[in-house]
Homo-oligomer: A and B are copies of this chain.
Amino acid sequence: MVLIARTGVSREEWSSRFGEWYRRMLTEADIMDYRYPVKGCGVWRPYGFKLRKLILDIMRELLDSTGHEEVLFPTLIPEDMLAKEAEHIRGFEEECFWVTHGGSKPLGVKLALRPTSETAFGPMFKLWIRSHADLPMKLYQVVNIFRYETKATRPLIRMREVLTFKEAHTCHATAEDAEKNVREAVEIYKRFFDELCVPYLISRRPEWDKFAGAVYSIAFDMICPDGRVMQIGTVHNLGQNFAKAFEITYEKPDGTHEFVWQTCYGISGRVVAAVMAAHGDDHGLVLPPRIAPIQVVVVPIPYKGLEETVRSASEKAFELLKGAGLRAVLDDRPDMTPGEKFYYWERRGVPIRVEIGPRDVEKKQATVVRRDTLERTEVPLEQLVGSVRELMAKLTEDLRERAWAWMRERVRPVRTTKEARSILEKQGGVVELPWCGDNDCGLEMEAQVDARVLGTPEDVEPEPAGPCPICGREAKTVLRLARTY
């Protein structure tokens, strides 16, 4: 697993190595083709699309089982609607793509391609919510969003058309209910990333980097193999900001009216990049079985004169696996060697490979290989399904543990901005600096460390290693900083 960032290799080298690996894997594992003739836009290819679907299925299951309902809104948002919430439009107006013409005619009102949908939901919530009995209302949709990015674009990580965006929007009767929902959303995302075996830090973003229009924002971040940090999910408490802008009120039991309290939370196609980055190695992707489009591939190892025997044993093994409900494939392509097939499926991250050669046939067994360690085991054919299932469970557990251990080593408490800067230069990851709580000190840290503040920990009790390195006052908490995508 040469891919993983190690001390002693320069940040530039990790960065270019990971970057190259990532671009190659998107193509070679058939995930996304980024050669579409519009900058920042790519095409989900069949295998990538299946992976995307299996990941979204987990998210849908989590949301559906916690009282969320799926809806589907238009893409187009009129300019005046987008501008209703003052902070929001300030944050997004320079990032919007604008539709100005229908055919050759100029439109009366410019239409934005949604950069996110708070302002599309606004007018509908106003229509749908009448009384306290309508609350809470918890909706979500899976859509494409558009950002006119001026920074360098990167497939799945920073795109102009984000083809995969799950956004939830909720309304509540009280501030407490909204706050409780923020906590629930955080729990949902934890369970989601746990299913993907992707490790995360949960931080409350600083005041100066919260979602445009929110009261506060909580974010999930992961560390990539190149030491840079990628935001992979966000949860926002919107308070009554949008409710006031869109006049979303409800009638209380006592007959008076009150604005609703809102939250929203989103994840994007970045989760696929996260899975790739968390587990991939020099052979290609490594996919947790739950989301692997193909969980097990059967590869016959033919031997001159015994082709038929090997073929029929392989078929039998395949039928067993498929019959047990596993997503299995029999790779009987005649024009490829077993070695080429191994390479092909390793690239795609198929968790388990079952090899069947003459010796296996003779001993009524199969050779089972797990993708992460490439460890080989021989198992009796009659126990094949059970063994594969067991191995998939073990692989899942190991992926999760390994990825978490790797990340934890890269979150480092430091005392000074100089030390912080040096660590981020050389090793990447996340540093935690003691912080007095003053925004000016936080901004000064960003400047001195030459990094971005992720925020204060929401996942662990902060333990400041000393006083605030900027003002010298007692630290109330810590600030996480990192170089980010």
Contacts and interface: CB of A to CB of B under 8 A. Distances in A.
Interface residues of A, number: 53
A100 B100 contact: yes
A148 interface: yes
Nearest to A70: B49
Contacts of A111: 38, 97
Interface string A136-160: 0001000010101000000000001
A74 interface: yes
A100 B101 contact: yes
A37 interface: yes
A22 interface: no
A485 interface: no
Interface stretch (A3-11, A75-83, A401-409): A75-83
Contact of A73 (B36, B53, B76, B98): B36
**Copies assembled:** 2
B73 A127 contact: no
A75 B33 contact: no
Contacts of A73: 36, 43-44
Contacts of A163: 72, 74
A104 interface: yes
A5 B424 CA distance: 74
Contacts of A101: 97-98, 100
A43 B102 contact: no
A70 B81 CA distance: 34
Contacts of A148: 102-103
Interface stretch (A88-96, A194-202, A307-315): A88-96
Given A69-B46, A72-B163, A100 B103 contact: no
A93 B103 contact: yes
A35 interface: yes
Given A93-B103, A100-B101, A74 B33 contact: no
A288 B123 CA distance: 33
Interface in A1-56: 33, 35-38, 41-46, 49-50, 52-53
17 contacts: A33-B127, A36-B124, A37-B123, A38-B111, A41-B76, A43-B74, A44-B71, A44-B72, A46-B71, A49-B71, A53-B70, A74-B161, A75-B75, A75-B113, A76-B160, A97-B99, A113-B113
Given A52-B72, A75-B144, 13 more contacts: A36-B123, A38-B76, A42-B74, A43-B74, A44-B71, A44-B72, A49-B72, A50-B70, A94-B103, A99-B100, A100-B101, A103-B148, A113-B113
Interface of A: 33, 35-38, 41-46, 49-50, 52-53, 69-78, 81, 93-104, 111, 113, 120, 123-124, 127-128, 139, 144, 146, 148, 160-161, 163-164
